Structure 1
């Protein structure tokens, strides 16, 4: 065999061996990823979730941030009022403003839309503590939207607001800030 032929044959053999090794490694990795987990490691999917943080867009430059960590456990799939977690928001402009944190008391999700409500437990806004508020999030995947129950009221609204009530998601999230995750609720009907 001449030198050129030997180099070609050797190169082809090396390529075949490399390809076979890569396929074997990939197959092993796939087997590990698809292997069933032990019963103690398997966690059921949560019934509903709303997480993430975003700033709202305001042309006047207001600094408005909303953060969510709301969950409905798989075992509570029939009762969205057993949701747990917190959400918080702040609104500042020209060095003045307020912040608040609420404990979740209801979470409803459908598709990429979530409505969460809760009672304000910590705030620097006078008279707000103990008020129930609701927030709606539309997780569009690129420029999310948000609405809140006090959009059409004075202050944070009535203290007797029902659970899981909010407004349409009319506010735009500031581009590049939204990282909401909404897991849709799938009740047994």
Structure 2
């Protein structure tokens, strides 16, 4: 493994597992709000309040995971994850049709050497404020990782979020293409205080009605 690829084998492990990381700008999910207008005053007398049609809010997407944050470390390591994952309302019954991007970077120190990868989302499931997502790595400085699937999990707790990744027990991404969709380890990592925030839009499970 080259020095450019990973800072060293020891840069892989942190506590239970080590990783390469990435960073990219997250996109926050905007929500619409209905607006009404008060009635007009005519000739000094209050005219009958005219109810104007409410603006129709855009359909709420079925689920989402967005945002960017660094992981907590006691070392000089600089580790950043970014997500922009969405499940359209029309695909509410098909989490494997989720779209979007992810990116992660793991540097030995801010501005230092390390590994990075980014790719496209291919599955997203959320429950309450917890999300699990997977994606295919499309660009990276670690040759063996390109084309492999990786998974992530996030627990959205305001600015005290937690994060997990599919390589928690293996010391680093191993280039596997066999990881099943929407599969990852529990969100065991802490987010570094003041570095960012993840946002999870809960999935409303389409339970059968008959």
User: Quick one: which of 145, 150, 156 aligns to 2:173?
Assistant: 156
Q: Which runs of 4+ in 1 moved over 2 A?
A: 30-35
Higher helix share: 1
User: Quick one: which of 133, 139, 147 aligns to 2:156?
Assistant: 139
Using CA pairs under 8 Å that are at least 6 residues apart, name the structure with larger relative contact order, 1 or 2: 2
User: Quick one: which of 165, 168, 171 aligns to 2:183?
Assistant: 165
Normalised TM-score (structure 2): 0.71
Partner of 2:66: 51
Q: Is the 8 A contact 1:143 1:178 kept in 2?
A: no
Partner of 1:37: 55
Partner of 2:145: 128
Equivalent residues, number: 158
How many angstroms apart in 2 are the aligned matches of 1:166 and 1:135? 5
Distance 1:37-1:165 versus aligned 2 partners, 3 A rule: same
Partner of 2:124: 107
The structure whose Rg is larger is 1
Partner of 2:200: 182
How many angstroms apart in 2 are the aligned matches of 1:47 and 1:73? 5
Unaligned ranges ≥5, structure 1: 1-29
Distance 1:32-1:68 versus aligned 2 partners, 3 A rule: farther
SS at the partner of 2:79? strand
Partner of 2:76: 61
The residue correspondences of 1:68-107 to structure 2 (distance < 5 A) are 68-94=83-109, 95-107=112-124
TM-superposed CA distance for 1:92, in Å, is: 0.3
How many angstroms apart in 1 are the aligned matches of 2:83 and 2:64? 9
* Cα deviations by residue, 1:60-88 (Å, 9 ceiling, x for unpaired): 12100000000000000000000000000
Partner of 1:117: 134
